[in-house]
Amino acid sequence: MIVVERDGIELDWCPGCPGLWFDAGELDLLAEKNHLPPADRDGAGLSPDPSAERGLPCPRCDRKMEKVWLDPLRTVLVDRCGHGLWFDRGEVGRALDAIRPETPGVPGAIVSFLGETYRR
């Protein structure tokens, strides 16, 4: 994985898959920097999914992560370990759509951040 940093936020990016790893608290930091309410996406409030989809190993401890729903409408299923969250290809975009506030322009800042940070 490659560590990338922008605006004081470090994320881990896998150029092979291309997935993103958010260490615990980094998703809330990204939301805060873009004037969104804290998501508490690292916390116990996420609903586990006993899906048949295979859990990935945590990039920090190598234990199998659990599948959790990131949003109340259950549209974004991500992998979680106590160390953070793993987003497969396309899941960050779906997560942004799921948490998109009504205020125009705010999601654009997050999309811009991620696009500038992870553009190949």
Q: What is the pLDDT of residues 3-37, one digit of tens each?
A: 888 777 888 988 888 888 988 888 778 777 766 66
- Output the CA torsion 66→67→70→72 (10° steps): -120
Q: What is the pLDDT of residues 95-118, one digit of tens each?
A: 767 665 544 444 455 555 565 555
Range of the domain at 93: 2-118
Which neighbouring-strand residues pair with 6? 9
Residues contacting 28, CB < 8 A, separation 6+: 38, 39, 40, 41, 42
Q: What is the pLDDT of residues 42-83, one digit of tens each?
A: 445 677 787 767 778 999 999 999 998 877 778 888 898 989
- Give the number of domains in the chain: 1
Residues contacting 29, CB < 8 A, separation 6+: 8, 9
CA-based diameter of the chain, in Å? 40
